[in-house]
Amino acid sequence: MDTGALLLSVELATLTTLLLVGLGLPLAWWLANTRWKGRFLVEAVVALPLVLPPTVLGFYLLVGLGPRSPAGRAFEAVVGHPFPFSFAGLLLASVLYSAPFAVQPFVGALAGVDRRLLEASHALGVSRLGTFFRVALPLAWPGVLAGTVLAFAHTLGEFGVVLMVGGNIPGRTRTLSVAIFDHVEALEYAAAHRTAALLLGVSFVVLALVHALRRGSLPAWNGR
Amino acid sequence: MERTLNFDLVRRFPRGPVVSARGAWPLDGERVTVLFGPSGSGKTTVLRALAGLDRPDEGRIVFEGETWFDAGRGIHVPPQRRHVGLLFQDYALFPHLSVRANVGYGLHSVPKAERDGRIDELAGRFGIADLLGRKPGELSGGQRQRVALARAIAPGPRLLLLDEPLSALDGPTRESLRGELRELLVRTGVPAVVVTHDRLEALALGDRMAVLVGGSIRQVGPVPQVFTNPVDAEVARAVGTENVLPAKVTRSEMGLLVLEAGGAEILAVDPGSAGDEVYACIRAEDVVLESLERHGSSARNRLEGTVVSRQEEGALVRVRVACGPTLVVLVTRESADRMGLAPGLRVVAVVKAPGVRVVAR
């Protein structure tokens, strides 16, 4: 069993999910509420990874954040090492590549909250931020949880972007899916089986959970 | 301090109507003002602008000398700082919170002990003490309304805004809650604006009535006065004077006008300076139907005609009589049955001259 690759995959998926919740929720809240006519452009950018091959995203990230580009130098100045073939670079790529899996369910769930409830909250003197945490989030939480779980699962199984941006450095950028690829290349089918079965099992459990959430068969949030 | 509500606002909807409403009334004394008008007349737009949920394109709103909105000066006080109690049409209770948490929602900055005391006090006053542990989904329509009202009152609003407060209820509940709501509104002592398109609701809830037609406020006055003295034909139609007949003044005799409407002669009290082309407004309730044999009352207008249709409306029956003009008449079901009112029956429609309001056209 590739313990190192498993740990790395879980670490990458966890951090990616946390970042997507932290950045995706405000973005989704904005998308769900804005009346700006250009919002479809932002939605399209968020949805791009759904249709683009991961190699395209990886390619542009490598070019855009390469050591010779200004953005790449900025990345190096902040993180302390160059973007390609690093864990931080992998994390950034994963966040971008898994964004639609988190943001789209977030937007759907938040947009589904009755606007009048938000307005009632405002009229009762509660700020926009307070209304988000006291009304919108509790009511949208099945969708928010579904998005979170999907983003985690998607990152766990990510392959193309990882290979493009991260390469295959054990302990740094060698994730589960890359390990499977290696095993198959080396004709180690038994090892490939173990890892693949693990990913298959985890993915199935996650998707079952997401669909249970969508059907509302989980208990509602009990706010005070 | 000037205790008045004063607004003059314009709201344009893309590819839609323009609401341009102006109104001003005192907040002392008669507290409940009904904003009355047919659907699409802009009532809810005005209410939302007053609450701060919607930003008008032009104009200003001044409440008790405090500017809530002024397009020219770029002032828009957000709803959080207007201290307005809002009651939505379907009450908009927070479904994930208990009744207690709903009522206490606006008291977030109050210490817990004080908040609990205030919730209990309100629950007693609104008769919802037994419901505090429940969720909104487990309440009846009437209970929801009381919880929503308690929630709106809890933070001590300066103005209450109610959007069609009874329309989410079924018929019988609505009947019984009309009086109760009026009672609760009066007891709160907070000035209120109630939006409704229902005449009975307006009569039952309001002290003052502002009639909105086509996006602008046409008349403001005591409720019964507006009903019986609509300023123009559109207001008359909006407040439900069912018979608005185009008529021509043929002559004037001893303070009475003789009108010609649809081939019939109708006597009306001369309002003065109405011109020759007028509308004769007759409320359906003010027409009496008699069988052909009976006569000899003081009423001056006796129009013989034929019943065209009969429509049951609860305890009342709405009858159309072709007697030159076609008159809509409301009679009790009992009288209708006694007279055997049915299409084809010959009857006499009787209207007192003071029951005919003449409005310039």
pLDDT at B21 over 70: yes
Q: What is the pLDDT of residues A149-165, one digit of tens each?
A: 889 888 887 777 777 77
Provide the H-helix boundaries in A52-188: 54-64, 70-79, 87-111, 115-123, 128-131, 137-156, 160-161, 176-185
Exposure b/e, A22-40, CB count within 10 A at least 16 = b: eebbebbbebbbeeeeeee
Record: contact A126-B106, CB cut-off 8 A: yes
Pick from B94, B112, B153, B160 the residue to mutate for testing the A interface (most A CBs within 10 Å): B94
- Interface confidence (ipTM) of the complex: 0.77
pLDDT at position A223 is: 42
Pick from B83, B91, B105, B190 the residue to mutate for testing the A interface (most A CBs within 10 Å): B105
Mean pLDDT for chain A?
Answer: 84
Tokens, residue A32: 């769900």
Tokens, residue B330: 């409301």
Q: pTM of this prediction?
A: 0.75
Q: What is the pLDDT of residues B328-348, one digit of tens each?
A: 898 999 989 999 999 999 999
Closest-CA distance, A124 to chain B, in angstroms, reads: 5
Strand B208-213 relative to strand B32-36, pairing: parallel
The residues, ordered by sequence, that sit 6+ positions from A154 with a Cβ below 8 Å of its Cβ are: A97, A98, A101
Q: Are the beta carbons of B253 and B299 closer than 8 angstroms?
A: no
Taking each helix axis from N to C end, the angle separating B171-188 and B141-153, rounded to the nearest 10 degrees, works out to: 20
pLDDT at position A216 is: 61
pLDDT at B321 over 70: yes
Record: contact A224-B90, CB cut-off 8 A: no
Average the pLDDT over B115-136 and give the result. Answer: 92
Residues of chain B found within 8 Å of residue A123, distances taken between Cβ atoms:
51-53, 79-80, 82, 84-86, 152
Highest mean pLDDT among A49-58, A85-94, B113-122: B113-122
- Half-sphere exposure for B3 (CA within 13 Å, toward CB): 10
Q: Considering only CA atoms, which of A45, A68, A60, A44 is closest in space to residue A93?
A: A60
pLDDT at position B295 is: 64
Mean pLDDT for chain B?
Answer: 87
Q: What is the pLDDT of residues B172-206, one digit of tens each?
A: 777 677 778 888 888 888 999 999 988 778 877 88
Closest-CA distance, B83 to chain A, in angstroms, reads: 7
Q: What is the pLDDT of residues A173-195, one digit of tens each?
A: 777 788 888 888 888 888 888 88
pLDDT at A168 over 90: no
pLDDT at position B87 is: 93
Record: contact B108-A126, CB cut-off 8 A: yes
**Residue A127's closest chain B neighbor by CA?**
B80
**Alpha carbon distance B349, B299 (integer Å):** 10
Tokens, residue B336: 């209708």
The residues, ordered by sequence, that sit 6+ positions from B43 with a Cβ below 8 Å of its Cβ are: B35, B36, B37, B195, B196, B197, B212
Average the pLDDT over B102-125 and give the result. Answer: 92
Average the pLDDT over B285-289 and give the result. Answer: 89
The residues, ordered by sequence, that sit 6+ positions from A87 with a Cβ below 8 Å of its Cβ are: A8, A12, A166, A172, A173
pLDDT at position A224 is: 40
Record: contact A119-B80, CB cut-off 8 A: no
Strand B4-12 relative to strand B58-63, pairing: antiparallel
Question: Greater confidence, A208 or B225?
Answer: A208
DSSP type of residue B130: G
pLDDT at position A31 is: 93
Q: Considering only CA atoms, which of A152, A160, A162, A163 is closest in space to residue A202?
A: A152
Closest-CA distance, B33 to chain A, in angstroms, reads: 20
Residues of chain A found within 8 Å of residue B97, distances taken between Cβ atoms:
223-224
Q: Are the beta carbons of B64 and B4 closer than 8 angstroms?
A: yes
Could you say which of A126, A135, A220 has the minimum Cβ distance to residue B80? A126
pLDDT at position B76 is: 93
Q: In terms of C-beta distances under 8 Å and separation of at least 24 residues, what long-range contacts does A178-185 make, across chains too?
A: A178/A5, A179/A2, A179/A5
* Domains recognised in chain A with CATH numbers: 3-214 (1.10.3720.10)
Residues of chain A found within 8 Å of residue B109, distances taken between Cβ atoms:
125
A138 at interface of B, judged by CB pairs closer than 8 A = yes
Average the pLDDT over B123-150 and give the result. Answer: 91
Average the pLDDT over B63-76 and give the result. Answer: 92
